[in-house]
Structure 1
Amino acid sequence: MTETPHQSSLDGRLIRGGTSRGLYLTPGELPDDADRRDEALVDLFGTPDPLQIDGIGGGNSHTSKVMVVAASDRDDADVDYTFGQVGIENAVVDWSGNCGNLTSGVGVFALLSGLVDPTPPETELTLYNTNTETFIDQVVPVADGRPAVHGDYRVDGIPGTGARIDSYFRDPAGAVTDELLPTGDRVETLTVGGDTYDVSIVDVANPNVLLRARDLGLDGTELPADLQDPDLLDRLELIRGAACERLGLVDDRRDAADERAAVPQIALVSEPQSFTTAGGERVEATDLDVTARIVTTQTPHHSYATTGAMCLAAATHLDGTIPAEFARPATGTDVSIGHPKGTITIGVESSAGAGEPTIDRVRVGRTARLLVDGEFYYHRASE
């Protein structure tokens, strides 16, 4: 971190991880005081502004993210990381959840920064996410002593192909609320503006509020532009806020956008359906297990949030939930979810118990790539 009479700067790396992009840096680059830290990040990303034109944000939730990464002092992890979702129109940073897409870039950053020594052809490392106190085993391909970039793995929502990075999230249930089903119910009813909505609130990797697309007059195959209806987004935020109230995360649902901007996520679920993606490609219902659309920080996601996909995939294994109502009967561990850019496949390892099933592990394959390495400038944070 460097300060001048005019601006401050920090050293970091801009990395595309999965279908998200974020700033990765080590803890010493940020002010120690939490308020000054958040003020610096809000300014750096150009918030509050829907375009984030005076910062490095891209005007949407999947490009307004930060990862703080350090070598771990733990005996059972190589790297600790903390995720922050930087607001766009609200000058806040939400540190309460995790980001599955950007998790794929943590190992890349760790290798590039010398936090972990590269071991060809693949480096295996264990990550510890401080937000959710969970462990992730990750496999990063290595070429010429650096994280590999080129490969034949395709992620829908990203042009071209890249080297596949596999992340295995251990014991991901109750990541934020300590419970797989935080309210104890597989389906419950929330009342918003005199209307009632059935929802499943499930916490795997991040808590999610899952509801039927048809209950909002949607068919479930809408593209993000179709969901950019202020009345619809306001209604979804009130439903999400009501869930926050139900979980005890906020006292007033109207405060959820400021106090709990990123989690829980909210998603619209429907049966496997054929549809045309935002890129004009055809997805066939026969290739899907479930169809869904997710909204993050009050913005329709251009593809699908990875932690949301993990939660949705796990929920299809829980009889009686809304996702299980729509999902094709499981024939293995993989769950294929149809989203606006195509599909995402999540591996779910679960086991039966005396009570609720146990979600032992979820797996996701992503690609990641370094975009920028250098100094990032922001107005000096207030003293």
Structure 2
Amino acid sequence: MTQTAIPFFFMRGGTSRGPYFRRSDLPADHDTLVKVLLATIGSGHPLNIDGIGGGAAVTTKVAMLSPSNDEWADVDYFFAQVSVEHQLVDFKPTCGNILSAVGPAAIEMSLVKPQEIETEIRIRAVNTGARILARVQTPGGMLVYGGDFAIAGVPGSAAPVALQFMEVVGKATGSFIPTGNLRDTIDGIEVTCMDVAMPMVIARASDFGLSGYESASELDQNTDFFDRMEHIRREAAKKMGMGDVSQSVTPKFGLLAPAKANGTIAARYFMPWKTHPSMAVTGAQCLAACALTPGSVADGLLMRPNRSPANIVLEHASGTIEVLVDFDLAETFTLKSAGILRTARKLADGRIYVPSLIWKGH
């Protein structure tokens, strides 16, 4: 036999999609796992022509699920960001959009039994240690994908998946403000380095000569901006204690500007070598936390809410995303939890095939 078959579900989670596996169906060995994921996606070609990736970072993501041994959690969610054109797999970050389909996938895989109306699934993000409570619609004990809730960046509507993120502060760096400063200046640009759900380097769009309302394609064509942004990102990562991140997608980069469509603030998010076509769920939490934090680069860009919980509406390249933030401002800004509504859909299931030379299977 020249190929190894691996069971999988192919799912859209939020504005991302990719294969969802049972962790036990994949190699336990790290190096072999990397090779299997690269072959699955088809990394090394801009169209991922020899795999099931989609030629964009939002379509080359992988979720691996297993029963959790954590006392709190039901399911462990292990995430991999696979590169489109390079033979790289990054296990450092997690992904909130892919997380949107973890609850439904766990039910599909029989890791969780659906309840009569709504099923609560407690998820531990293995990459960061974050805890997330997902609420999935299961009327009559049946998982449903259809509904009337719509999110920007996805056509049509579907059943809502409610996500409540807890213990997301400092998971990658150990600190809410990993440099110790609410603002640092790198290459003449003021940035706020923050670790909430995703470590990020956040700046004002105007400091780069940008409006903050550019489309994703307009920003992607601005190679001068990307060159400068990447230099700042790498230098900021060193200050954040993350070392050399030239081969890592974290920390991510974000730009802020005043809202212009009745939102709270405008934002653009980078993955980091391309502009996100909409907004990452993890990035939205970090950007919302930055917007709420006095002294950050968001100062002067918004009318800052002073009551908790606050509904922060981020205007992004495809529309808006809302983050319900529970926080405390007694002395300094303290984030308690963040809630987001997303959607998910099963696109296919079956078996993916990888060359047996890579892995012969269990």
Q: TM-score normalised by the shorter chain: which range applies?
A: over 0.9
How do 1:169-318 residues align onto structure 2 when only pairs under 5 Å count? 169-191=165-187, 196-229=188-221, 230-251=223-244, 256-258=245-247, 260=248, 262-273=249-260, 284=261, 287-318=262-293
Q: Per the alignment, in what secondary structure is the counterpart of residue 148 of structure 1?
A: coil
CA distance in 2, matches of 1:144, 1:93: 40
Q: Per the alignment, in what secondary structure is the counterpart of residue 49 of structure 1?
A: coil
CA distance in 1, matches of 2:87, 2:204: 31
Structure 1 residue 73 and structure 2 residue 73: aligned?
Answer: no
CA distance in 2, matches of 1:56, 1:110: 21
- Contact 2:77/2:126 (<8 A) preserved: yes
Paired residue for 2:130? 134
- Contact 2:32/2:358 (<8 A) preserved: yes
- Contact 1:8/1:379 (<8 A) preserved: yes
Q: What letter is aligned with 1:349?
A: D
CA distance in 2, matches of 1:382, 1:171: 37
Q: Per the alignment, in what secondary structure is the counterpart of residue 312 of structure 1?
A: helix
TM-score scaled by length of structure 2: 0.94
Give the length in aligned residue pairs. 356
Paired residue for 1:281? none
Structure 1 residue 11 and structure 2 residue 7: aligned?
Answer: yes
- Identity across aligned pairs (percent)? 34
Shift in Å, 1:358: 1.5
- Contact 2:130/2:165 (<8 A) preserved: yes
Paired residue for 1:369? 345
> Cα RMSD between the aligned structures?
1.5
Q: Per the alignment, in what secondary structure is the counterpart of residue 37 of structure 2?
A: helix
User: Closer, same or farther in 2 for the Cα pair 1:227/1:10, shift >3 Å?
Assistant: same
TM-score scaled by length of structure 1: 0.89
Flag structure 1 segments of 5+ consecutive residues without an equivalent.
274-283
Cα deviations by residue, 1:354-383 (Å, 9 ceiling, x for unpaired): 5x3221000010000000111112233547
Paired residue for 2:313? 336
Cα deviations by residue, 1:4-56 (Å, 9 ceiling, x for unpaired): 3x222311111101111121111122112101111111121111222212111
CA distance in 2, matches of 1:141, 1:295: 31
- Contact 1:87/1:297 (<8 A) preserved: no
Q: Per the alignment, in what secondary structure is the counterpart of residue 97 of structure 2?
A: helix
CA distance in 1, matches of 2:319, 2:67: 36
Shift in Å, 1:331: 5.9
Flag structure 2 segments of 5+ consecutive residues without an equivalent.
none
Paired residue for 1:117? 113
* Runs of at least 4 residues off by over 4 Å: none
CA distance in 1, matches of 2:146, 2:28: 38
Cα deviations by residue, 1:230-259 (Å, 9 ceiling, x for unpaired): 3322222222111222223224xxxx242x
- Contact 2:173/2:242 (<8 A) preserved: no
Shift in Å, 1:188: 0.3
Cα deviations by residue, 1:202-233 (Å, 9 ceiling, x for unpaired): 11001111011112111110001101223322
Shift in Å, 1:114: 0.6
Q: Per the alignment, in what secondary structure is the counterpart of residue 182 of structure 2?
A: coil
CA distance in 2, matches of 1:321, 1:381: 51
CA distance in 2, matches of 1:218, 1:73: 47
Q: Per the alignment, in what secondary structure is the counterpart of residue 46 of structure 2?
A: coil
CA distance in 1, matches of 2:351, 2:64: 15
